[in-house]
Amino acid sequence: MRSDGSDSKQSFHYIVRSGLAGGIAGCVAKTVVAPLDRVKILFQASNPEYQKYAGSWSGAFRAAGHIYKENGARGLLQGHSATLLRIFPYAAIKFMAYDQVEHILMPTPESQTNVRRFSAGAMSGVISVFFTYPLELIRVRMAFLTRSSPPHGLPYERPTFLRVMSYIYREGASLPPSSDSAPASTSVSTRALFTRFPILKFYRGFSVTVVGMVPYAGTSFLTWGFLRSQLIPPPSPSPDKPGSSDVSHISRARPTPLADLAIGAVSGAIAQTASYPFEVVRRRMQVGGVTRPDRWLRWGETAQAIWGARGWRGFYVGLSIGYLKVVPMTAVSYAVWQWGKRVLGV
């Protein structure tokens, strides 16, 4: 406990409450944009049933309408149960880690720099994705599967968390070696690795995810911290005790929820633009178990396939719906995080 009676940032109670506020923020934000999230995954992963809708905002809404017509509201929320299972620990760890790293790198307002803000955000993002990536992969697979793209050799069944987890664990076990241009030794060694360590199937696309997380989380927290430092008045002595240097008489104009939403929206838009090509490559690699279950897709070949199919525009397919999803999601996430911290006394 500090002398003012509040918990230190490195105390157990502070860490738990910080994580709880972050986890709630992530769940609320993801629920707000869940239908758009599924459409974006279908676009990014080039699901053949939905490619005709890709490339425009109106196409995103037409795709959502098609999903609703085929499967009702449950179709728009397909994969959302896995999303909530993943997002609570992911957001809890990310925001909790940011609070801790920020405290270490920037213990005082004078020590805050854009490089440190970026570093704190990037580190918190990498830490959170390391611990929660398998849940992310299951969520993406649940969103990707449609009636026209069932798992290899299996009839279509409504994806559930446990069913998709079972698909991933067993995929590629009974398929012949790959016959494409990849070296046979690479295919055989990958299959042997998957057979010996099936858990690796849950980390398809992990490396590109980590690399993409650095610009995304780093830029997001950098923009968030910079805009708050510029737009929110710094601490000033309370008017009832002019000139007082006692910290108990220092006041800060609290940001309103509207300000938190606006700053969060700008942060999300900039971060999405900076990291989107990595996200497209990552999605393709994550659904590799459906399209190529016998192989571990590599960065180079995945990026080359995207470039060969659509050129540079292929790396930005679904970006418009990405903005439509990420901007409100990030805005709500930051706003609820700050609200949760105030409510919990963090």
pLDDT tens string 123-135: 999 999 999 999 8
Give yes or no for residue 241 having a pLDDT over 70: no
What amino acid is encoded at 13 in this protein?
Answer: H
Nearest to 33 by CA among 319, 331, 329, 272: 329
Rounded to whole angstroms, the Cα distance separating 129 from 106 reads: 23
List, for residues 284-339, the tens digit of each pLDDT value: 877 766 666 666 667 777 888 888 888 888 888 878 777 888 899 999 999 999 99
| Mean pLDDT across the chain | 80
195: its two tokens: 């057979």
Residue 240 is assigned to a structural domain of this protein: no
Whether residue 133 is contained in a domain is answered as yes
Is the residue at 272 inside a domain? yes
pLDDT at 230 over 80: yes
Domain total in the chain: 3
The whole-number average pLDDT for the span 161-182 is: 68
Q: Decide the pairing of beta strands 236-237 and 250-251.
A: antiparallel
Q: Write the pLDDT tens digit of every residue in 8-23.
A: 777 889 999 999 999 9
- The full DSSP string for 116-154 is HHHHHHHHHHHHHHHHHHHHHHHHHHHHH--TTSPPTTS
288 belongs to a structural domain: yes
Regarding whether 335 and 311 lie in a shared domain, the answer is no
DSSP character at residue 233: P
Residue that finishes a domain, picked among 120, 150, 170: 170
pLDDT in tens, 249-267: 444 556 688 999 999 999 9
Note whether residue 249 is domain-resident. Answer: no
The residue with greater pLDDT, 156 or 239, is 156
The answer to whether position 1 is within a domain reads: no
- Domain boundary, last residue among 170, 185, 200: 170
Do 158 and 106 sit in the same domain of this protein? yes
Same domain, 330 and 289: no
Tell me the pLDDT band of 4, cut-offs 50, 70 and 90.
very low
Q: Say whether both 259 and 164 belong to one domain.
A: no
Q: In terms of residue numbers, what domain contains 332?
A: 30-74+317-345
Q: Is the pLDDT of residue 175 over 70?
A: no
Q: Which residues contact 214 (CB under 8 A, 6 or more apart)?
A: 122, 125, 126
Dihedral of alpha carbons 334, 335, 338, 344, sign: negative
- Domain-located, residue 187: no
Higher pLDDT, 329 or 240: 329
Q: Are residues 41 and 85 in the same domain?
A: no
Most confident residue range from 238-247, 275-284, 297-306: 275-284
